[in-house]
């Protein structure tokens, strides 16, 4: 069976958790004891009706405050597909957790309350999903029941969003009018919206084509570790272990080792179930070469005719997570593929206003939840592609060495 990874995002109170609860409930993915527990907890709090958000707000603090702080992962399946759904926080304060959920998603559900239209947080999330290269965006125009299921109300939001999206780099945007509370257009086509000709949400989720979303063009293999059994049964075995970042590798093909530029041929590729005729993203494999090259973690295999950029100066967009602002005089630890090195932010070119998508405030400090275009200087060269072309070799994180926390995500230009 297929697997689709998706997120729900949007402003607080636009109905994310209700939609998620509805999806889980209508696909019969809520177990009886979970449902009993949610009903009990809701009744104890004195809620007028069962709060579906309690299905995913699993932390004590979330349940006490009635907000989502961190991503909750939920799993459900239909006969067509299995889904991993990351329910992301809507609060501005927890944007870093939303980005955590979004980094591995293939599709985003963006909730909009039809009465309120686009808010700054709707725009922020729409922008972040496209920045992170989630190719499929489904704008869920929710709470249609509160506007009498009127077509004009839906179209107003759609037009508003399209005007904003013109400046985004989104590949595939769809709009579904719905009421998550009443189940309109979630699993079944709703008779209350006869003017809507499109499919209900679940059908879209089951059928959206994501087969060509991964990069199968540029061969990149970041060395994770080297496997050498100290075993008389395999005295000469020396395998390079790692996950295929992109492209396709086959036995017999010539590869180039970076940084040395030496070439070798692939003697064999071993997968979890044995030898492979080809390997592609996201397979975890062990590659044997036909001759001994000095290969270690953080280095890369590519093809002689298709190599990544190699440089220690690069341009990137940073999403800043830490409550301590970016300090250009400081050294940060940078992790990119399997490589770790030191870096410094040489120059903040501009910050981005996500509502207007205008450049601004180059001089103000880069603070939590800011998006900033920067130039980076690294201590060792990186082997990279632009994030647009390659989600695996274009992504990085920055780590503060004094606290060991992840302070930023970076997307290479």
Write down the least CB distance from residue 72 to other proteins, Å.
5
Nearer to other proteins, 173 or 399 (CB): 399
How far is Cα 153 from Cα 80, in angstroms, rounded to an integer? 33
Tell me the site size for other proteins, rule CB under 8 A: 75
Nearer to other proteins, 185 or 215 (CB): 215
Q: Is 103 in the site for other proteins (CB under 8 A)?
A: yes
Q: Which of residues 127-166 bind other proteins (CB under 8 A)?
A: none
**Which of 37, 171, 362, 380: binder of other proteins (CB under 8 A)?**
37
Contact in structure between 129 and 9 (CB atoms under 8 Å): yes
Write down the least CB distance from residue 263 to other proteins, Å.
25
In degrees and rounded to multiples of 5, residue 121 shows phi and psi of -70, -35
How far is Cα 297 from Cα 117, in angstroms, rounded to an integer? 49
Q: Which of residues 241-280 bind other proteins (CB under 8 A)?
A: 241-243, 248, 270, 272, 280
For 174-212, give the DSSP string.
EEEE-BTTTTBTSSS--TT-TT--S--HHHHHHH---TT
Question: SS3 letters for 284-339?
Answer: EEEEEECCCCCCCCCCEEEECCECCEEEEEEEEEEEECCCCCCCCCCCEEEEECCE
**Which of 56, 122, 129, 142: binder of other proteins (CB under 8 A)?**
56
CA dihedral (275, 280, 252, 277) in degrees, to 10, reads: 40
**Which of 14, 51, 70, 113: binder of other proteins (CB under 8 A)?**
70
**Which of 124, 135, 257, 391: binder of other proteins (CB under 8 A)?**
391
Which tokens sit at 52?
């579906």
Contact in structure between 368 and 380 (CB atoms under 8 Å): no
Write down the least CB distance from residue 179 to other proteins, Å.
26
Q: Is 404 in the site for other proteins (CB under 8 A)?
A: yes
Q: Is 399 in the site for other proteins (CB under 8 A)?
A: yes
Nearer to other proteins, 317 or 392 (CB): 392
Q: 239-246 and 220-222 as β-strands: parallel, antiparallel, unpaired?
A: antiparallel
**Which of 66, 73, 331, 362: binder of other proteins (CB under 8 A)?**
73
Task: Report the sign of the C-alpha dihedral through residues 34, 40, 41, 47, in that order.
Answer: positive
Q: Is 229 in the site for other proteins (CB under 8 A)?
A: yes
**Which of 19, 52, 53, 71: binder of other proteins (CB under 8 A)?**
71
Q: Which of residues 183-212 bind other proteins (CB under 8 A)?
A: 211
Among 176-184, 187-195, 328-336, 362-370, the segment contacting other proteins (CB under 8 A):
328-336
């Amino acid at each position: 069976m297929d697997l689709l990874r998706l997120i729900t995002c949007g402003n607080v109170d636009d109905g994310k958790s209700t939609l998620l609860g509805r999806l889980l409930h209508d696909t019969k993915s809520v177990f009886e004891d979970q449902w009993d527990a949610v009903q009990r907890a809701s009744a104890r709090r004195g809620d007028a009706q069962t709060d579906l958000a309690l299905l995913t707000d699993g932390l004590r603090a979330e349940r006490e405050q009635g907000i989502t702080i961190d991503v909750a992962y939920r799993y459900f399946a239909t006969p067509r597909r299995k889904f991993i759904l990351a329910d992301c926080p809507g609060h501005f304060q927890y944007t870093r957790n939303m980005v955590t959920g979004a980094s591995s998603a293939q599709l985003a559900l963006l909730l909009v309350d039809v009465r309120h239209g686009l808010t700054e947080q709707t725009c922020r999330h729409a922008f972040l999903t496209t920045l992170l290269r989630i190719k499929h965006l489904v704008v869920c125009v929710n709470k249609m029941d509160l506007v009498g299921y009127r077509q004009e109300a839906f179209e107003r939001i759609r037009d508003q969003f399209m005007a904003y999206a013109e400046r985004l780099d989104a590949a595939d945007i769809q709009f579904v009018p719905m009421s998550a509370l009443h189940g309109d257009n979630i699993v079944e086509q709703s008779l209350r919206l006869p003017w809507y000709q499109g499919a209900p949400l679940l059908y879209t989720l089951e059928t959206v084509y994501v087969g060509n979303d991964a990069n199968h063009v540029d061969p990149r293999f970041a060395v994770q570790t080297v496997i050498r059994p100290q075993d008389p049964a395999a005295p000469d075995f020396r395998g390079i272990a790692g996950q295929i970042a992109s492209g396709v590798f086959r036995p017999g093909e010539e590869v180039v080792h970076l940084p040395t530029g030496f070439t070798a041929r692939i003697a064999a590729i071993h997968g979890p179930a044995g030898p492979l005729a080809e390997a592609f993203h996201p397979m975890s494999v062990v590659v044997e070469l036909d001759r001994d090259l000095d290969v270690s973690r953080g280095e890369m295999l590519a093809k002689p005719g298709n190599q990544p950029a190699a440089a220690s100066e690069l341009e990137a967009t940073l999403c800043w997570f830490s409550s301590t602002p970016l300090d250009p005089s400081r050294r940060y630890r940078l992790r990119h593929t399997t490589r770790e090195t030191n870096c410094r932010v040489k120059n903040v070119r501009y910050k981005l206003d996500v509502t207007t998508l205008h450049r601004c405030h180059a001089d103000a400090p880069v603070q939590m939840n800011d998006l900033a275009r920067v130039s980076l200087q690294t201590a060792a060269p990186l082997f990279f592609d632009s994030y647009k072309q390659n989600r695996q070799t274009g992504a990085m994180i920055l780590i503060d060495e004094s606290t060991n926390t992840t302070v930023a995500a970076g997307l290479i230009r």
